[in-house]
Amino acid sequence: MITLDLTLPDTRYPIHIGRGLLDQVELLLPLLAIPQVAIVTNTTVAPLYLDRLASALRRHDIDVIAIELPDGEAYKTWDSLNRIFDTLLGRHCERKTTLIALGGGVVGDMTGFAAACYQRGAPFIQIPTTLLAQVDSSVGGKTAINHPQGKNMIGAFYQPCAVIADMELLSTLPARELAAGLAEVIKYGILGDAGFFEWLEQNIDKLVALDAEALQYAVRRCCEMKADIVGADEREQGARALLNLGHTFGHAIEAGLGYGAWLHGEAVAAGMVLAAALSHARGTLARSELDRIVSLIERAGLPTRSPDLGVDEWLALMSHDKKVERGRLRFVLPLGIGQATVAGDIDPAELRALLSGDYIIRGQVPA
């Protein structure tokens, strides 16, 4: 097991990375203020791992409450959030009851937001079960639900007590979900670590094949980078915005197609290509580096072209992005492999040309 520490001005918590950690309840027990937990999971993960975790906790006389939500981005809503609150209130849970997020990014985001709100703040622990959640969404304290007009527009910064990333849980991931997680892995190489990007080019086939050693290294490197960035900029006032590479375009895809039509990582992958293509068109990214980005994303089994939402719809959807400042869209653009910046001087004509170009799918959008 490897343990990283994320240190912030007001808190500090461990990120445990290893194999078989779901059964190591000694990692959890010292974090519980009272012997009661509420495990929030979904209908896909529950049959695989809920009983295993709940039984391990009950052997230590922990009162375990299970909250099972429907699976999918389409359910990252007020209704699902209220199902969590209904159960917590119905079981008379206290402020010190610990919420445990057992699932992917949707479960983690909703559990964290519920914890931030319940009695003005309950402790919570992240146990991410997808690659995307292990390398990105479980770390850093961003919690939210979606709104029909924009993804993650309603939420809070609220840090977990710990993140426990068990590599064994990735063995049950469908290939499409694994690829979606690889989008966020690739993102880290593009925005801040050229050496890691080169390592990915050499090892992407191992990651796709679920090679245990390669996966653990990738998760560790991504978590190290995110811990450093979040530690310096918890509330996204500066460098943390770089972690949104591909997300302005990606969130528009998710909202435009309907949440769940494309997985988050698929939309981010296509969004990163658009961001790289925009940077190349502006003369700030070499063609050779754009080609490397596109090639690695393709090798991960991810889309490199975005759906044709219509230029006006694209612009309308992106106007709800959280990086909009004084009415102007801002985009994270790669300046080279391992370097990125936030650009707020994009001419609408540049966007219109991009969104009418070669990186947009014409005709049927693949599932």
Annotated active-site residue 244? The verdict is: yes
* Bridge pairing between strands 163-166 and 339-343: unpaired
Residues 141 and 119 in one domain: yes
pLDDT on residue 328: 81
Residues 138 and 224 in one domain: no
Sign of CA dihedral 145, 149, 150, 155: negative
Annotated active-site residue 251? The verdict is: yes
Annotated active-site residue 236? The verdict is: yes
Query: Exactly one of 16, 220, 247, 280 is catalytic; which is it?
Result: 247
Residues 312 and 168 in one domain: no
Which pTM value belongs to this model? 0.94
Query: Exactly one of 142, 151, 322, 330 is catalytic; which is it?
Result: 142
Query: Exactly one of 236, 254, 266, 289 is catalytic; which is it?
Result: 236
Residues 112 and 209 in one domain: no
Is 133 within a domain? yes
Residues 215 and 164 in one domain: no
Query: Exactly one of 184, 224, 266, 289 is catalytic; which is it?
Result: 184
Is 366 within a domain? no
Is 293 within a domain? yes
Residues 146 and 188 in one domain: no
Query: Exactly one of 59, 120, 326, 362 is catalytic; which is it?
Result: 120
Is 285 within a domain? yes
> What CATH number corresponds to the domain at position 307?
1.20.1090.10
Give buried/exposed letters for 328-355 (b at 16+ CB in 10 A, else e). ebbbbbbbebbbbebbeebeeeebeebb
Residues 148 and 287 in one domain: no
Q: Out of 155, 172, 189, pick the residue that ends a domain.
A: 172
Residues 109 and 230 in one domain: no
Distance of CA 25 to the CA centre of its chain: 25
> What CATH number corresponds to the domain at position 88?
3.40.50.1970
Residue type for 172, please? T
Annotated active-site residue 313? The verdict is: no
Query: Exactly one of 42, 146, 152, 244 is catalytic; which is it?
Result: 244
Residues 223 and 234 in one domain: yes
Average confidence (pLDDT) per 10 residues, the chain, 367 residues: 93 96 96 98 98 98 98 95 98 97 98 98 98 96 92 94 97 96 98 98 97 97 96 89 96 94 97 98 97 98 96 92 73 97 92 94 63
* Residue 299 · residue 112 · CB < 8 Å: no
Is 86 within a domain? yes
Residues 9 and 90 in one domain: yes
Query: Exactly one of 76, 83, 151, 226 is catalytic; which is it?
Result: 226
Is 367 within a domain? no
Is 326 within a domain? yes
Annotated active-site residue 264? The verdict is: yes
| 154 vs 113: CA distance, rounded Å | 9
Annotated active-site residue 226? The verdict is: yes
- Give me the domain span that covers residue 250: 175-361
Annotated active-site residue 60? The verdict is: no
Domain count, the chain: 2
Q: Which of 123, 103, 102 is nearest to 39 (CA)?
A: 102
Annotated active-site residue 120? The verdict is: yes
Q: Out of 105, 137, 172, pick the residue that ends a domain.
A: 172
Residues 94 and 222 in one domain: no
pLDDT on residue 235: 86
Is 71 within a domain? yes
Residues 95 and 55 in one domain: yes
**163-166: strand order across its sheet:** 2-7, 12-18, 163-166, 124-128, 98-103, 36-42, 63-69
Q: Out of 145, 172, 199, pick the residue that ends a domain.
A: 172
